[in-house]
Structure 1
Amino acid sequence: MIAVLLNVYLALLFVLVKLKVVPFNLFWKISPAIVLLALMLGLFIPMNWGAPQGPAIVVRNSVAIVPDISGEVVEVAAKANVPLKAGEVLFRIDPVPFESQVKAIEAQLKLAETRLAEMSQLQNRGTGRAFDVEERQANADQLKAQLEGAKWNLEKTTVRAPADGYVTNLALRKGARVANLPLAPAMAFIDTSETVVGVEINQIDARYIAPGQPVELTFKMTPGTVQTGRVESVLHAISTGQVQPSGLAVTPRAIQAAPLIVRVKLDDDAFARSLPAGSAGDAAIFTDRVAAAHVIRKVLLRQIAITNYVNPF
């Protein structure tokens, strides 16, 4: 863009000299250098913080599906990369052991309630002890609690989608055995209920970014198009500034000004949901500073959108 503006000035200067509107003296000979310096200092350098630009990427939350119970898989209902709604069945675990547990506790509870009723009658007639009634009552309450837990386990034999999304890299098959171990998830579930777009902005350019500011984005997978959005937040932490608990003293390391991450929400929700995780592109954020540079940044972003037809990087 700076080359375009400079070439326009040179063409205009050439015409004015030919028409003898301006003399071709020393001042006008060095004027292109003066104009170039003025454009750099007055427009293009301030544009970096008035309308900062940076790479953008679409990320989605991944949920490791770990069943609450252990058992043999009798059905895998989910298909790889097929959209699911929250609550739809992912897979089922053999319910027979858990059904038998429920039936056994129900039988014990029925007997305990019968014994409790008999003890209560004896106490009312004055031939039974209050202690026996209390003991039977405690036994019945304990069995009720066990029955509630057994029914919960039976319900958890059906594993459901925690949110809208899809299962990826599906390797689970009927007959496999799953366990309720955090380090052994049964499948990976990609949550599509919310699309997160992150934009990397150099620290020297991020000073005036604030929530609510307009954003324009172009993605590699949709060349020639420009999407709009708004700044949701500027993340106040990156890994280079994170301290983790350890038994060691402070370990010096090389410090570098890593980019800050700006979270953006697209205006077109349907388009946002259609973007695969990992979709990359470029984004420009328009702050309330250096408004004159906003038009130039819009032009530059559209140039990137057009070159995305042939530029894979």
Structure 2
Amino acid sequence: MIAFLTLCYFGLLAVLVWLKVLPNTLWTWLSTLAWMVLLFIVLFIPMQWGAPAGPARIMTYTVQIIPNVAGPVLEVPVEPNRPISKGDVLFTIDPTTYEAAVEAAQAQLNFQETRLKQYEQLASTAAGTKFQVEETAARVKQLTAELEGAEWNLKETTVRAPADGYVTYVALRPGQRVVTFPLQPAMTFIDTSNKIVGVHIQQIYQRHLERGQKVEIAFKTRPGRIYSGKVEAVFQVTHESQAVTGGTVPAAEIIQAEPFFVRIHLDDPDTNLPAGTVGTAAIYTNSAAMTHIIRKVMIRMESYMNYVIPWL
């Protein structure tokens, strides 16, 4: 941007010299250097905290699908990378043993309910004891709870999508046995119902950031378009600040100033923006407002450069 403004200034000098408004001397042309220094001091240094910029990325939640019951898989109707809605079936587990458990619990419950009625009638005629009634009533409650658990297990043989999204890399096939072990998920579900837009801002500018400040983002996947938003949160923690419990003394490492993570809320979120989309975000703080126009021009220039320069 400094080079662009300097070229504009140089072109203006050339016109003024050609019109003989300014003399064609060495000092006239050396004023270009003074112009560059002035731009750097007055505009570009304050712009770093008045409108800080940083890399942006769209992230989403990844859910490891681990069934609540174990058993052989009967059907996997879901297709990889195809959008599905919350509640759609991901896969089904053979329900035979769980159906049998429900039937057994229901039979025991029916039997104990019949016995309870009989004991209550006997107790009312003094032919039975109150203890038999109370014992059978407790058994009925226990079997009712066992039946509810068995029905819940049976319901969990159909594994459904926890949210809107899609499943990627579907390796699960009918006949495979799935387990409830946390370290062995059956598939990976990508939750697209809630995307996160995050920006990394260097620590030196963190003191100028506040919630609600305006943001503009130029994404690589949408060249020539600027997305507007607001600062939703400034995380007051970095990766290096974690104190992880362990059995060894922490090793001495070189301390570096990690950037802070800033969460952005887009004013008009584009649901077609895929997770992993990167770009550049500019945050317009309450400081050095005169530099905001320069940052606006720079981020728009970058947005159009995304048409031809894919790696920047």
TM over 0.5: yes
- Alignment of 1:11 with 2:11, yes or no, is yes
SS at match of 1:295: helix
- Alignment of 1:277 with 2:250, yes or no, is no
User: CA separation in 1, counterparts of 2:218 and 2:29?
Assistant: 40
Find the counterpart in structure 2 of residue 171 from structure 1: 171
User: CA separation in 1, counterparts of 2:237 and 2:80?
Assistant: 34
Find the counterpart in structure 1 of residue 95 from structure 2: 95
Contact 1:69 1:180 in 2 (8 A): yes
- Residue by residue over 1:44-77, the C-alpha shift from the partner in whole angstroms, topping out at 9 and shown as x without a partner, is 0111111111111111100001110001111112
- Residue by residue over 1:153-189, the C-alpha shift from the partner in whole angstroms, topping out at 9 and shown as x without a partner, is 0111111111111111111111111111111111101
* Paired residue type of 2:43: L
User: CA separation in 2, counterparts of 1:10 and 1:82?
Assistant: 55
Find the counterpart in structure 2 of residue 261 from structure 1: 261
* Paired residue type of 1:87: G
Larger displacement relative to structure 2 (97-106 or 3-12) = 3-12
* Paired residue type of 2:50: G
Find the counterpart in structure 2 of residue 150 from structure 1: 150
- Residue by residue over 1:93-122, the C-alpha shift from the partner in whole angstroms, topping out at 9 and shown as x without a partner, is 111111111111111111111111111111
Contact 1:172 1:186 in 2 (8 A): yes
- Alignment of 1:301 with 2:299, yes or no, is yes
TM-score (normalizing by structure 1): 0.94
The Cα of 1:17 is off from its aligned counterpart by 4.1
Count of residues in Structure 1 that have an aligned counterpart in Structure 2:
311
Find the counterpart in structure 2 of residue 141 from structure 1: 141
Find the counterpart in structure 1 of residue 42 from structure 2: 42
Find the counterpart in structure 1 of residue 243 from structure 2: 243
Contact 1:109 1:140 in 2 (8 A): yes
Runs of 4 or more off by more than 6 Å in structure 1? none
The Cα of 1:23 is off from its aligned counterpart by 5.0
User: CA separation in 2, counterparts of 1:279 and 1:18?
Assistant: 49
Equivalences for 1:3-82 in 2 at 5 Å?
A: 3-22=3-22, 28=28, 30-82=30-82
Find the counterpart in structure 1 of residue 192 from structure 2: 192
- Residue by residue over 1:184-239, the C-alpha shift from the partner in whole angstroms, topping out at 9 and shown as x without a partner, is 11110111111111111122233212111111111112222221111111111111
User: CA separation in 2, counterparts of 1:138 and 1:17?
Assistant: 104
The Cα of 1:250 is off from its aligned counterpart by 4.0
SS at match of 2:58: strand
Contact 1:115 1:136 in 2 (8 A): yes
SS at match of 1:183: coil
SS at match of 2:208: coil
User: CA separation in 2, counterparts of 1:225 and 1:76?
Assistant: 40
The Cα of 1:18 is off from its aligned counterpart by 4.5
Larger displacement relative to structure 2 (249-258 or 61-70) = 249-258
The Cα of 1:27 is off from its aligned counterpart by 5.8
SS at match of 1:61: strand
Find the counterpart in structure 2 of residue 231 from structure 1: 231
User: CA separation in 2, counterparts of 1:173 and 1:94?
Assistant: 13
Contact 1:52 1:206 in 2 (8 A): no
Find the counterpart in structure 2 of residue 252 from structure 1: 252
* Paired residue type of 1:95: P
Contact 1:230 1:265 in 2 (8 A): yes
Find the counterpart in structure 2 of residue 286 from structure 1: 284
User: CA separation in 1, counterparts of 2:27 and 2:206?
Assistant: 38
User: CA separation in 2, counterparts of 1:299 and 1:291?
Assistant: 14
The Cα of 1:25 is off from its aligned counterpart by 6.7
User: CA separation in 2, counterparts of 1:250 and 1:70?
Assistant: 40
The Cα of 1:279 is off from its aligned counterpart by 1.0
